[in-house]
Copies of this chain bind each other. A is one copy, B any other.
Amino acid sequence: SAATSASKTIGLIPADGIGREVIPAAKQVLEALAPSGKPFSFIELDAGFEHFQKTGTALPQETVERLKGECDGALFGAVSSPSHRVAGYSSPIVALRKHLDLYANVRPVASVPGSTGAGSRPVDMLIIRENTECLYIKQERIEADTSPEASPGDQIAWADRRISTRASRRCGRMAFKMAVARHAATAAASGLSNVPSPKLTVVHKSNVLSITDGVWRETVKAVQAEDPSFAAVKVEEQLVDSMVYRMFREPEAFDVVVAPNLYGDILSDGAAALVGSLGLVPSANVGDHFAVGEPVHGSAPDIAGQDKANPIAAIRSAALLLENMGMAQEAQRIYQAVNAVLLEGKLLTPDLGGKATTTEVTDAVCRRL
């Protein structure tokens, strides 16, 4: 397979804040992994709000072109948010997802096997977030408010929310596939034949958005009929508000969760609280031909540059990226090394209540590989 036939090239886009610390950490782990003696090559690429402030461009054309032309996959760090409206600035990660048609954002949220993270119960769910539309199409406009009640200068701003059959279908398809694959992996690992059915929770708010979320829920559910292997998946629906509530009350009730873009963004941050820290939760932006690993956390300007950031979300994102590049075994080695460090519990960054540095945790993961 491609995985073993040639050395792989990975684009690295640290972007802002702690992205500049955790992406090098992930790179160090990938270097230490050296799959079958074939080291990875890396290409460093620019993007981010700080890059925008220096150059007027948040996502340089060159970054997109080299990702497309020279890379087998990529890792993205985090972006800082401007504190005021900044003319001409637009989030580079949202743009990147669009340019590379990375239509699903895959976010596994799981406590370390044998531990329960922050909560009292183990969590093991996979959130799949539609990654190209909803309010993220960023079609916004503003106009004067000419209603009789308005004061001089009042405005009305509008944003378009787009939900298409096509985007819902391909995201739903990925969700069903992953539900089946997770189930198969769990069954194989446990050796049991009575592993509970895979379950897919379809999140929406169709009691208010009956047309847009109507298309979403109906399209995702209709995917089940496409493939006989999907028949085993138990499908349930959940309104997004109740979903947040239930996720906190009974996280063990969820397996694979699929949601439109904005709901998925909110849910995955909420789920991160259940496992103890955003610094643990990885994601992969996945398309048909390319994937970009990305920690779910932000650029954390308050701790940037202090060797305090938890590198684990970025390191796990590198593993997720490898899975998507057909290198499941290498990915497993990373997951196991990370879990061993977490279970040992001696080297933890401050977000997990420890005192270890980014460097120390990264070195520890490398030693366990």
Q: Which residue of B lies closest to A165 (CB)?
A: B154
- Report the minimal beta-carbon distance from A285 to chain B, rounded to whole angstroms: 15
Contact of A164 among B79, B154, B207 (CB under 8 A): B154
Q: Are A241 and B269 in contact (CB under 8 A)?
A: yes
A interface residues, how many (CB within 8 angstroms): 69
Q: Are B157 and A162 in contact (CB under 8 A)?
A: yes
- A159 at the A/B interface (Cβ < 8 Å)? yes
- Neighbour of A208 across the interface among B135, B150, B210, B269, CB < 8 A: B135
Residues 217-252 of A at the B interface (beta carbon under 8 Å): 218, 237, 239-242, 244-245, 248-249
Question: A35: which B residues are within 8 A, CB to CB?
Answer: none
> Within 8 Å of chain B (Cβ to Cβ): is A141?
yes
Asked if A158 and B155 sit within 8 Å, CB to CB, the answer is no
User: Are B155 and A165 in touch, CB under 8 angstroms?
Assistant: yes
Pairwise interchain contact A85-B166, C-beta atoms closer than 8 A? no
- Interface segment out of the listed A18-26, A270-278, A316-324: A270-278
Is A94 interfacial (CB 8 A cutoff)?
yes
- Check B210–A140 contact: CB distance below 8 A: yes
- Knowing A163-B157, A244-B244, say if A136 contacts B208 (CB, 8 Å): yes
A100 to chain B, nearest CB (A): 15
List the number of copies, as a whole number.
2
Q: What is the 8 Å Cβ interface bit string for chain A, positions 171-215, against chain B (1 contact, 0 not)?
A: 000000000000000000000000000000000011111111011
The proximity string for A residues 252-289 relative to B, scoring 1 for CB distances below 8 Å and 0 otherwise, is 00000000001101101110111000100000000000
Which B residue's beta carbon lies closest to that of A147?
B166
Interface centre among A79, A166, A208, A272 (most CB of B within 10 A): A208
Q: Tell me whether A145 is interfacial, beta carbon within 8 Å.
A: yes
A156 interface residue (CB < 8 Å to B): yes
User: Which A134-158 residues have a C-beta within 8 angstroms of B?
Assistant: 135-136, 138, 140-142, 145, 147, 149-151, 153-158
CA A156 – CA B216 in complex, angstroms? 10
Shortest CB–CB separation between residue A270 and chain B, in angstroms? 4
Q: A157-B212, A241-B268, A244-B269 given; name 15 further pairs at CB < 8 Å.
A: A81-B206, A81-B207, A135-B161, A135-B205, A135-B209, A140-B210, A141-B211, A151-B165, A157-B162, A157-B215, A158-B212, A244-B244, A245-B270, A248-B274, A263-B266
9 A-B interface contacts by CB (under 8 A)? A84-B218, A154-B164, A155-B165, A155-B215, A156-B162, A157-B163, A205-B262, A245-B272, A266-B266
